[in-house]
Structure 1
């Protein structure tokens, strides 16, 4: 997928604090790169291309983590 990962603190973006509270290390993940942080703002938005790229990343990530083979006809 040719992704570059960058750690950053992003409070209130996930519920992983509950997982960490019981002693399990947890990291959040978001494929929304190069996007202004406007969560819950009056003009919250996400560019269509960023959204569709995020869908592609999550689709590939879930398939890889679950070891699900590709559907026939997909490469």
Structure 2
């Protein structure tokens, strides 16, 4: 899933978050202690796990991930 979501490896993480989720990307980055200038290539797998868990626990999070929607379509 990460490869599909983050195709532009040299892009800043904050720009990618805007396209993934409606949550405030700056707030999420502060919660996981990452800078706004952090690039995808600077992240480790544990950082991505923490990122996604933080987004799911966010009070602004009101939608499902693209993967969940895709799987529902496949199952139905």
Structure number with greater Rg is 1
Shorter-chain TM-score above 0.5: no
Structure with the bigger RCO (C-alpha within 8 Å, sep 6+) is: 2
More helix by percentage = 2
TM (norm. structure 2) is 0.32
